[in-house]
Each structure stands twice: as C-alpha cells, then as structure tokens.
Amino acid sequence: MVKILKLLAYIFFFILALIYFMPKESVYYYLEKELLLNKVVLSDEEIEDSGFSLQLNNSKVSYDSIESADVENINIKIFLVYNSLSVSNVKLLDVASSFVPLHIDNINIKYTIFNPLNIVAESNGEFGQANAEVNILDRNISIVLKPSQLMLKKYRATLRNLKKNEAGEYRYEKTF
C-alpha cells in the first residue's frame, strides 16, 4: 500500500513539474504562427510566464493588417487534460460600432480531453452574454446570445441575422 502511494505521489509530482517547466512561451510563439496563417496578428504584447500559466498583457489584435481590438489581458493555461484561454477587457475599434457594442468584459475558452471533439466558450460584455461551442469533427460553430438591452435597442440589424428562439435568445450556426 505504501509503495502504491509513493508511486502515485511521484507520478503526480512529475506531472506538476512537467506542466510548470513546460516552455509555454514556445507554445505561444507556435500558436502565433498558426494564427498568422489565418491573417490574425497579436502585437505589442508583454509576455509573462507565471509557472502554471502564461500572461499576455496589453496586446493589439489585427486581422488582415487592420487593427481590430485592444486586449488588456490574455491568460493561457495549458494542463495536460484541461486547457483554457481567458481574455479580459477587450475594446473593439470604432469601425465595428455600427454592428456590435465595442466593449467585451471577458471571454473564456476551454478544451478538455474529456470532451475532445468540442471547444466551449463563454463571453460577457455590453452585447450581453454569449455561449459558443465549436465541434472539431463536424467543423461547425454554434453561438447562443442572450442580448443586453443595449443590443436589443441599438443593434437590431445585427440581431436580424440571427435566429430567435422562444426564450428570447438568438442563435447563430455555421459550418466552416
């Protein structure tokens, strides 16, 4: 019994040490290269490895050479069975103001090996609350939006592009 507990303790210690000493900045730079293939560029970020997570502060996001958003904080956690990306205080540039509200409070994206075919995301902001699910196998995305009063009043044209259900939520589905 003692040998089994020692073995489990060693395995647990090894996994924690592996996560702690993993080259998270290298993983980030690989991710940045992959985003570049989709014309998304992160710039001016301050990178900080805090052991079990990687923090990116004060980033600027550009799409197809057009600056799109300012992001105050991005937190990347890479655990072997559970990975998450948390983004907070996103300010979209004024170009998007005719389509959506410009401030997003937070975005949380999670991927786990217990649900390996789906990536789940939640977001809150001036637009309301949105929940998204990306199915990797079927290559489709489904977003459910619970709009705020601001969204209902000022951005009706955007909401017309979404399907409304009985609960007052709006749904967007697309295959990519």
Contact of 81 with 73, CB cutoff 8 Å: no
pLDDT in tens, 43-73: 999 999 988 999 999 999 999 988 999 999 9
Residue with tokens 């937190």: 75
- Checking if the pLDDT of 128 tops 90, the result is yes
Task: Give pLDDT, residue 97.
Answer: 87
pLDDT in tens, 10-31: 999 998 898 899 888 998 999 8
Is the pTM higher than 0.85? yes
| pLDDT mean over 120-146 | 96
- Checking if the pLDDT of 169 tops 90, the result is yes
Residue with tokens 């637009």: 127
94 φ/ψ angles, rounded to the nearest 5 degrees:
-60, -20
Distance CA 92, CA 107 (A): 13
Contact of 114 with 81, CB cutoff 8 Å: yes
pLDDT in tens, 66-119: 899 999 999 999 888 899 999 999 999 988 888 899 999 999 999 999 999 999
Contact of 51 with 20, CB cutoff 8 Å: yes
Q: Give the start-end residues of each E strand in 44-115.
A: 46-49, 54-63, 66-78, 82-92, 103-112
Task: Give pLDDT, residue 152.
Answer: 92
Task: Give pLDDT, residue 27.
Answer: 86
Nearest to 154 by CA among 96, 93, 101: 101
Task: Give pLDDT, residue 63.
Answer: 92
